[in-house]
Amino acid sequence: MARLSRKLYYARRRLTHRLLRESDRINRRLWVNNPLTAAPLATPERYAEIHARALDNSYPDVDALEKQLGFALDRQFMNDLALHTQVVIKSSPMMWAHGRILYAVLRDYLDRFPPASKRERITILETGTARGYSAICMAKALYDAERPGVIMTTDIVPHDTPIYWNCIDDHEGKKTRRDLLAPWQELVDNYIIFCWGDSQLTLQTIAMSRINFAFLDGAHSYADVIEEFDRVGPYQKAGDIIVYDDVTPSAFPGIAKAVAEICDTHGYSRQDIQTHDNRIHAICRKL
């Protein structure tokens, strides 16, 4: 009977993996052919205008966080990066303050936990690479702190396929994400590994013994957030951090429910930072 149960278990696991692989194959094919837009959506002047307007936004919670932790991302660096990787044509307000949150919290983490040896490396995981803005901000934190580390970031949008990104660079033609991030090549080369595919599959293929810091900003359903946490939580120790984006009950109730459940049942403290339009970013620290 026990042998039969094991056979059923492995048969079901093989079937599940086969279905996931087929789903991933279909998703990859769909996301290679103009996944974001089939043509440029605006002129460079329009993107620059949106960028200039967003510079006037104020974020009191983020200001207070930077003051509390004692670290702040260089504004010129951030705004230059945001022009190419965050400014898009969309109906919701333009915002890239989460780069400031990630930088400040990661720098504080690095300060709190100095390396035990020169060879010790910080491991960071991100889901939802998009154009690479948040990964570059975290790489900048590692660079400024003079700490070795690796950022594993995953997204269904491919890294080396030329596409239109709905950004100011589109007037130059289709680009890969690698091309888009060329001005920050040193940070990319030294710290970032780009993974392509559905996060539920790619997280299964990434072997890590420790995840010191994570930014989970992939799919926005309750089930997906729980699934991502199940791939991260077991590899964290006391003091390690997960930052969640869009923890806004009115807009994303699934994320809000999942994060509350994770903190309550898995021993994480939580600090909420509001940017604008009630958008909440949750900083969760393993107790």
Q: What is the pLDDT of residue 85?
A: 98
Three state DSSP letters for 178-211: HHHCHHHHHHHHHHEEEEECCHHHHHHHCCCCCC
**CB neighbours (10 Å) of residue 172?**
11
For residues 96 and 78, the answer to whether their CB atoms sit within 8 Å is yes
pTM of the model: 0.88
Domain locations in the chain as residue ranges: 27-113+120-286
For the chain, 287 residues long, give each residue's pLDDT as a single digit of tens.
445 455 665 666 666 666 656 655 655 555 556 788 989 999 999 999 999 999 999 999 999 999 999 999 999 999 999 999 999 999 888 889 999 999 999 999 999 999 988 788 999 999 999 999 999 999 999 999 999 999 999 998 889 999 999 999 999 999 999 999 999 999 999 999 998 876 666 666 677 889 999 999 877 789 889 989 998 999 999 999 999 998 988 889 999 999 999 999 999 999 999 997 778 999 999 99
> Which CATH topology does 27-113+120-286 take?
Rossmann fold (3.40.50)
What amino acid is encoded at 208 in this protein? M
